[in-house]
Amino acid sequence: MVTRVVGIGRWIGTLGRWSTASRRLDGLLRASAVLGAAGIAVSVALPHLGEWVAFFTLVALVSGPTTVVVPVSSEPFIMAFGKLQPPMLVAAVGTAALVAVEFVNYPVFDAAVHARVLARARESRVTRRLIAAFRLSPSLVIALTAFTPVPFAAVRALSALSGHSFPAYLAAMTVGRFPRLWLVALVGTAIPLSAGQILVVGGSVALLAALAIGLRRAGTGTPADQPGGGPQSGGSAGPPDPLHPSYDSLRRSARPR
């Protein structure tokens, strides 16, 4: 099993080398594979810790960079495990998982927000004002956002853009996440559902949200059979784009000789 996990890690590392931030992402993916293999080894050597290793891994997986695309939340796992274990301990392990996954999330967001394609948005007046407001009290903003249901990705991006200290960022996030997870675990003990039912409901909500997002994105695309869909669809190709690289050559060829 460990050999298979390491093999998957090598394959993921190969994919990482194809990305724009190949070295950084490759190292992060390889480290994730090593941690996964270590978790399996701990579960085999210490069976009584297996459920905690599984809980830690699940919380980390659903809190990774993919949450920007796939709306999966760790709350159902926190509530379900809170019915089985002391809520305070559940909050501590869950917070540790969230802190650990930030060693993947933060570099990915840092590279993304500093990408060349986002230069115009990064230099916009709104972004500069948000960064200036964030710098007034960054730790307070991070802690409050980590405690509330506000999407945390925005604060992560502001922290990266402002050059805020990563250790200070982790500390503030821990201050906000721990009491929130403790309250979520307490809610799990109070609702009249079993741990399995909580997971089913949470998974169903996440699946419906993912389907809604997918349908919405599919609806915003330009169908190929509509006018303006391109010459291959039989529709009108529309006026030439002055910003297209071939515009100058088209204009020269259209001049009378």
**95 and 3 part of one domain:** no
Total domains in the chain come to 2
**36 and 59 part of one domain:** no
Determine, yes or no, domain membership for 235: no
Determine, yes or no, domain membership for 198: yes
**36 and 62 part of one domain:** no
Determine, yes or no, domain membership for 90: yes
**90 and 61 part of one domain:** yes
| pLDDT band, residue 138 (cuts 50/70/90) | very high
Tens digits of per-residue pLDDT, 142-156?
A: 999 999 988 888 899
**pLDDT for 171 beyond 90:** yes
**33 and 62 part of one domain:** no
**40 and 88 part of one domain:** no
Determine, yes or no, domain membership for 255: no
**157 and 179 part of one domain:** yes
Determine, yes or no, domain membership for 241: no
**89 and 193 part of one domain:** yes
Tell me the two tokens of residue 160.
């990266």
**115 and 15 part of one domain:** no
Provide the whole-model pTM.
0.65
Tens digits of per-residue pLDDT, 184-218?
A: 999 888 888 777 777 777 777 767 766 776 777 77
Determine, yes or no, domain membership for 112: yes
Amino acid 16: pLDDT: 44
**115 and 39 part of one domain:** no
How many CA atoms lie within 13 Å of 137's alpha carbon, on the beta-carbon side? Answer: 5
Tens digits of per-residue pLDDT, 3-42?
A: 554 454 454 444 444 444 455 555 555 555 665 665 566 5
Determine, yes or no, domain membership for 245: no
Determine, yes or no, domain membership for 32: yes
Inter-residue contact 72 to 208 (CB < 8 Å)? no
As a three-state string, the secondary structure of the chain is CHHHHHHHHHHHHHHHCCCCCHHHHHHHHHHHHHHHHHHHHHHHHCHHHHHHHHHHHHHHHCCCHHHHCCCCCCHHHHHHHHCCCCHHHHHHHHHHHHHHHHHHHHHHHHHHHCCHHHHHHHCCHHHHHHHHHHHHCHHHHHHHHHHCCCCCHHHHHHHHHHCCCHHHHHHHHHHHHHHHHHHHHHHHHHCCCCHHHHHHHHHHHHHHHHHHHHHHHHHHCCCCCCCCCCHHHCCCCCCCCCCCCCHHHHHHHHCCC
Segments forming the whole domain that contains residue 90: 55-67+74-216
